[in-house]
Amino acid sequence: MSTNLTKVFLVVNSGSSSEKFSLYEGEDEICSLYFEGVEEDGKKQFICTVTKADGAEEKVDKTWPDLSKAFEEAKAIFEKEGYINEAHPLDGILVRCPAAGEYFSQHHIVDDETLVELGKARLLYPLHVPGVERGIKNARRAFPGVPVLTMSDSEALTRDSRKDAEYALPSEIVEEFDLGRWGAHGSSYGYVMGKIKELGLLEKRMVVCHLGSGCSVTGFIDGEPVYTSMGETPLEGLMSSTRTGAIDPTIGALLGAKFGAEEAIKILNKESGLQALAGSNDMREVIAGAEEGEPEATTAFNMFVDGVAGKIGEFAAKMGGIDAIVFTATIGERSFPIRSSVISKLGFMGFKIKNEAMDKTKDYTNVAEEGSKPIYIIPTNEAAYMIKMAGELLDRQK
């Protein structure tokens, strides 16, 4: 059954201190609301920014003491602006779900089982699961009768083609905690690989680099994922804005023994990475600092570049070579210094890059020098992938 691309979906991203609501008709975003905390006179309050389809922004002339009312306020704003009404109802509410495991490696229409599984996932995902639970609870209260769906962040990577999906741990431990290298950024990889096929750019062996506030790399053979850098959680693999990336597991155990598991996970996920090395989690500031010769920023920049280039090289060895490299997400799409520095280490593999940025009028840009293997910049659209998957899931339930 084909998917109705004119469905109206509300995509929710519930952070620990923010709430974002993006309203879509088909794959077109028609309005988004962003609730974020700000400090004023030593007191934290939450403000809301409305972004229209044409990019125009305006602040709502109102503040809130916490995020508990954000969903109801969002509903009121969407209805006042005429985006949601009886003639234009919501078809579904999509809540991004970073938890993994067998259950959350797939998308689900929320039911009692979903809530039970989220409860089990709190131990490994104490920073993310509470936001998902809050989003589901508030969605059901604000929009009774509208289906709520948890959208898996690993579904597009959960394939039989994967060669790195297991850990070398005792089977009883794996089974008790439902452990596996599930990966993340699945919605981004699902979208980008679909776009690659649509554009006729598919090569035998490709590596896609999703470089944003969180960073990962995935290797594909014939369009199917075989290796990915993230594991049970997004902490494994590359260093990113506030995550350590892969480190000696003993360090995690030591932090857990000293601070407790939840605080240790917070340190590794929220207080490390670029933030810890350079004092900023913004790659633009890190690059600027490195260009000025600041030692901390230079170290952070070099470690980041080495991590990405090293992971590409690892996957090249495992796949017997690479025929094309793709950059996507905020840093991948916008940062020439990162792309250039990564590719400069891969000349021995037949890659050489031009000093050229993404052409925003196109679906993709090939920034490879003449005679080089292809190096593509392809903008990602995770929401479009989630909407496509949600439409198919709802259609199957009819």
User: Which among 134, 152, 170 is the end of a domain?
Assistant: 152
Clarify whether residues 216 and 357 are in a common domain.
Answer: yes
Dump pLDDT digits (tens) for 281-322: 999 999 999 999 999 999 999 999 999 999 999 999 999 999
178 is catalytic: no
Residue 162: inside a domain: no
Catalytic residue among 41, 153, 282, 323: 153
316 to 77, 184, 205, 266, 307: CA distances (angstroms): 49, 20, 9, 33, 14
Number of domains composing the chain: 2
Q: What is the domain range of residue 135?
A: 8-152
Convert the pLDDT of each residue in 330-348 to its tens digit.
999 999 999 999 999 999 9
Based on the domain organization, do 99 and 216 belong to the same domain?
no
* Shared domain check, 14 and 148: yes
Which residues have C-beta within 8 Å of that of residue 229, sequence separation ≥ 6?
183, 216, 217, 218, 236, 237, 238, 311
Helix/strand/coil for 49: strand
Both 223 and 340 in a single domain?
Answer: yes
Q: 343 and 216: one domain?
A: yes
**What distance in Å separates the CA atoms of residue 22 and residue 162, rounded to the nearest whole number?**
32
* Element spanning 262, H or E: helix 261-270
Domain co-membership, 118 together with 228:
no
For residue 4, pLDDT over 50 is answered with no
Does residue 90 contact residue 10 with C-beta atoms inside 8 Å?
yes
Antiparallel, parallel or unpaired: β 43-52 and 92-97: unpaired
Tell me, what's the pLDDT at 16? 64
pTM score, two decimals? 0.91
3-state secondary structure (DSSP) of residue 265: helix
Together in a domain, 274 and 365: yes
Q: Is residue 112 part of a domain?
A: yes
Tens-digit pLDDT profile for residues 348-393: 999 999 988 787 778 899 999 999 999 999 999 998 999 999 999 9
**Domain end residue (candidates: 126, 152, 178):** 152
Together in a domain, 111 and 237: no
Are 126 and 237 contained in the same domain? no
Residue 331 burial (10 A CB sphere; 0-12, 13-18, 19+)? buried
Any domain includes 174: no
Calpha distance 335→356 (Å, rounded): 10
Identify the weakest region by mean pLDDT among 114-123, 126-135, 191-200, 290-299: 126-135
- Residue 397 located in a structural domain: no
The CATH number that applies at residue 264 is: 3.30.420.40
